[in-house]
Structure 1
Amino acid sequence: MNLHEYQAKELLKKYNVPVQEGIACSTIAEAEEAYRYINSQYGSRFVVIKAQIHAGGRGKGTIKGKDQRGVAVAKNLEDVKNIAGNILGGTLVTVQTGEAGKLVSKVLVAQDVYYEGPDKTKEIYLSILLDRAKGKNVIMYSTEGGVNIEDVAHDTPEKIFKEWVHPGGALPSFQARKIGFNLGLKGDAFKNCVKFVTNLYSAYVGLDCSMLEINPLFKTSDNKIIAVDCKMNIDDNSLMRHPDVAALRDITEEDPTEVEAAKFNLNFVKLDGNVGCMVNGAGLAMATMDMIKLSGGEPANFLDVGGTANAQTVEAGFRIILKDPKVKAILINIFGGIVRCDRVAQGVIDAYESIGNIEIPIIVRLQGTNAEVAKELIDKSGLKVQSAILLSEAADLVNKAVA
């Protein structure tokens, strides 16, 4: 589950991680009030107004139809009105959203951290995620923080440092100090960095994050270490332990079909192809998608109905797949281990009759427990459903359907 920047920062504060303070706003009036409060509370010369969407590249992205970036500096109240007015309700297009962009419903009005002081400021990159190959968490960091970290990783990979941490405990103090040394920090900045990284790692583990990225991690002119931006992903499987975090989910940022699929406990991911697929088991689903590709089609989705497929889940899967106008055929590939194939076949028939006339070809391959009974049910149903026993048969039928 993805979180907005303002939500992630509030969670980090609970772990004593210093952040750039800000207020989330849904209206221009709220943004004006936030500006007044931040100006009086922190003595900010200006505020930064940031669009809140689940995508990166906001600073380089633009609002459709307007000369307005997704992140902008407001130096006075008039700037706040204009910038917030341009962003709120607009569609922000970034390198990660694609041309469709995303609707902006909130902005974060944040304090100025680029104030003058005795030392130089510094932008740093830092992220924590799981390295599956090593079975450890990895902290990646660089002195070259800011909006172009992808270019740094591509052009000068030697500037990206990594620290692997065993997932069974806290961040060892020697590694926290090593990070500070590699970033070239000294004195109070070094001490503050050690505390920051230690607390950030605690937040990563405590919140069951799958990814936590701070870019930029900012060293102020008076040597404070502050998270200016934050991207946080939470492991969906851990949300039962974090009902407060689960309540932060913003379904308006998610694909509507994926949200609907979740209501029926279907594992669904929308793709860009022309063949819808409904399968029980993630491994079989991946193999089915490969088979669709090899047969000349393109998978339109990943849909795993799980091991307890029945008429209700099959019908829900049908309805979700049929919402995609690009779909030219549907392939149902079920291996009857826990689930009986005849029950799935009856579910297909019931769903077909419930939904009504379905114009596109439906190919059903059922193997395993009661597969022969299932094929007989399909063949005698009188429906425009084609059955297959072998995977090669199903592949040929898919090929004909999309040709």
Structure 2
Amino acid sequence: MNLHEFQGKEILNSFGVEIQRGHVATTPQEAVSAAKKLTEETGTGWHVIKAQVHAGGRGKGGGVKLAKSIEEVERISGEIIGMNLITPQTSAEGKKVHQVLIAEDVYYPGENEPEEYYMSVLLNRANGKNMIMYSTEGGMDIETVAEETPHLIFTEEIDPAAGLLPFQARRVAFNLGLSGKAFKEMTKFVTALYKAYIASDASLFEINPVLKTSDDRVIAVDAKVSLDDNALFRHKDYEAMRDLREENAIEVEAKEVGLNYVDLDGNVGCMVNGAGLAMATMDLIKQAGGEPANFLDVGGTADAERVEAAFKLILKDPNVKAILVNIFGGIVRCDRVAQGIVDAYKNMGTINVPIIVRLQGTNADIAKELIDNSGLDVQSAIEFQEAADKVQAVLA
């Protein structure tokens, strides 16, 4: 589950990570009130207006701007709220901005020059250890840094059983070239950041930039946070932060009816039971010259109601030119699935795309007979290659 910047900062702050403070507003008038309140709390004279959407690169799309007066806060907030923000991480249509974060200006003048760093905490799946990735090149796309100057990216591998050790936090600060107060502040920052990552059951914390201010404070200016959906039962307060407006509408609907669905960009809809078979089916579609339009795992109870819900989800995508149903009847009987497909088809009326049904396993022969004798425009298959050939034929 992805969070907005202001939500991620709330979690960070609760674990002792110093953050760029701010308040959320949904209207220009609320933005003005938030700015005045923030000035009272922090003494900041300028305010940063940040669009709150689940996408990076907001500044490149005009979603992050500096306001030097209350009048500018109102004007800029009015321009950003309601806009379709297009960034390198959104679709061509962009994402509608429903709220902005009014944040304090932390780039104030002082004895030293402010410096920006990049830092993230995530799981290194290659070795089963957590990893802090960091760089002196903050405020930039880390992908660009990795491609052009990979020697400027450092990693600290952390054994989950031992946790982050003090010398590792100090090594991060040392590799960033810090000393004195800034060194101590960065050590505290890294320690608190890792604590937040573990305690919140996150899959990613990305802070870009981490800022060393002109008076050597170390703060999180941004926060990209993804939480593990499977652990949300332990964090009801975090689960309440979910913003369904930022998620794919079809995926949200699928979750409500208990289906595992991921929207893709192809032209062949997939209805499969089991994640492994679903991946193999997507490979099959590619080999047949098509592109999978979705990942859809109906699970082990593929009855008529569930199959009908799956068909409706698939058909919401206007790019779907054919549907491949690929079911292995191990726990579930193939004839029961076949009857569910027939009943669902009849309940829905006319389906204007070809449907290929491949059922293999328990009672597969009975299932094929049910499909073939249904009188519906549904093609049956037994073997994988047979299903692939039929997909290829309907796409030709």
TM-score, structure 1 normalization: 0.97
User: What secondary structure does 1:36 align onto?
Assistant: helix
Match of 2:124 among 131, 151, 154: 131
Match of 1:144 in 2: 137
Moved more, 34-43 or 93-102: 34-43
Contact 1:2–1:232 (Cα < 8 Å) also in 2: yes
CA distance in 2, matches of 1:390, 1:149: 45
Match of 1:66 in 2: none
CA distance in 1, matches of 2:123, 2:301: 31
CA distance in 2, matches of 1:395, 1:75: 62
Contact 1:278–1:303 (Cα < 8 Å) also in 2: yes
- Residue type at the aligned position of 1:343: R
Match of 1:321 in 2: 314
Match of 1:289 in 2: 282
State the Cα deviation string for residues 354-380 of structure 1 (Å, max 9, x = none): 111112111100001111111111111
CA distance in 2, matches of 1:207, 1:115: 32
- Residue type at the aligned position of 2:37: Y
Alpha-carbon offset, residue 309 of structure 1: 2.1
Match of 1:369 in 2: 362
- Residue type at the aligned position of 1:57: G
CA shift in 2, pair 1:32/1:164, >3 Å? same
User: What secondary structure does 1:309 align onto?
Assistant: coil
Match of 2:195 in 1: 202
Match of 1:176 in 2: 169
Moved over 3 A (4+): none
State the Cα deviation string for residues 299-338 of structure 1 (Å, max 9, x = none): 1111111122222211110000011111111000000111
State the Cα deviation string for residues 8-64 of structure 1 (Å, max 9, x = none): 111111101110000011010110011111122211120100000000000111xxx
State the Cα deviation string for residues 151-194 of structure 1 (Å, max 9, x = none): 21111000000001112242111100100100111111111111
CA distance in 1, matches of 2:15, 2:41: 22
Alpha-carbon offset, residue 383 of structure 1: 1.0
CA distance in 1, matches of 2:373, 2:20: 66
User: What secondary structure does 1:60 align onto?
Assistant: helix
Match of 2:388 in 1: 395
- Residue type at the aligned position of 2:53: I
Match of 2:206 among 186, 203, 213: 213
- Residue type at the aligned position of 1:150: E
State the Cα deviation string for residues 211-243 of structure 1 (Å, max 9, x = none): 110000001111111000000000111111111
Match of 1:262 in 2: 255
CA distance in 2, matches of 1:114, 1:4: 22
Match of 1:25 in 2: 25
Alpha-carbon offset, residue 199 of structure 1: 0.8
Match of 2:73 in 1: 80
CA distance in 1, matches of 2:4, 2:352: 41
CA distance in 2, matches of 1:126, 1:147: 11
Does 2:344 align with 1:351? yes
TM-score, structure 2 normalization: 0.98
Alpha-carbon offset, residue 381 of structure 1: 1.2
Q: Percent identity?
A: 61
CA distance in 2, matches of 1:48, 1:258: 33
Alpha-carbon offset, residue 119 of structure 1: 2.0
Moved more, 143-152 or 253-262: 143-152
Does 2:219 align with 1:226? yes
Does 2:324 align with 1:331? yes
Contact 1:280–1:333 (Cα < 8 Å) also in 2: yes
- Residue type at the aligned position of 2:101: L
When the two structures are aligned, how many residues end up with a matched partner?
Answer: 396
Match of 2:112 in 1: 119
Match of 1:304 in 2: 297
CA distance in 2, matches of 1:337, 1:182: 54
- Residue type at the aligned position of 2:86: V
- For structure 2, the 5+ residue unaligned runs are none
